[in-house]
């Protein structure tokens, strides 16, 4: 929930970035989002970094993974899930 209608915190903005990229923000929340960017240089940098990350990640496919990386990633995910108490 946005407490001040004219003010969005940096934390709130970070939580809304994905919806902003996917154009899923309501018009009023998008206005607040953009208003925050007009005075917050850090969030402008963060948004630019996220945009670049999404663009770069979007170019990757399974075939572009270096040899052995797929198994390494799957192992890391299994370990992570096990540590959280889920099924291996």
Partner 1 sequence: MIAYKFLSAGATGPFTGFRWPVPGPARPGAWVEAADGRPDHGVHACHLDDLAFWQGVELWRVELADPVVAGHRQVIGTRGRLLEHVSAWNDELARSFGEACAWRARDRSVASLHMAGLHEEAELLASCRSLSELHATSKGLSSRKGLPATLAAYVAEAIDFLLAGDSPCSTYISARAAVAASGGSESEFAAERQGQAHWLAERLGLEQARSP
Contacting residues toward partner 1, per CB under 8 A: 3-7, 27-28, 30-32, 34-35, 37-41
The minimum distance between CB 17 and partner 1, in angstroms, equals 13
CB neighbour burial string for 41-72, b if at least 16 within 10 angstroms, e if fewer: eebeebbeeeeeeeeeeeeeeeeeeeeeeeee
To the nearest whole angstrom, how small is the minimum distance from the Cβ of residue 56 to partner 1? 17
Which of 63, 79, 6 minimizes the C-alpha distance to 38?
6
Closer to partner 1 by Cβ: residue 27 or 88: 27
**24 or 81, CB closer to partner 1?**
24
Any idea which residue has 């399974």 for tokens? 62
Nearer to partner 1, 28 or 69 (CB): 28
């Amino acid at each position: 929930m946005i407490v001040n209608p004219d003010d969005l915190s940096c934390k709130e903005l970070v939580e809304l970035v994905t919806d902003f990229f996917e154009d899923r923000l309501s018009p009023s929340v998008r206005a607040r989002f953009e208003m925050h960017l007009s005075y917050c240089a850090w969030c402008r940098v963060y948004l630019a970094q996220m945009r670049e990350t999404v663009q770069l990640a979007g170019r990757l496919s399974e075939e572009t993974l270096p040899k052995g990386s797929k198994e390494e990633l799957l192992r890391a995910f299994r370990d992570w899930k096990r540590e959280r108490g889920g099924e291996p």
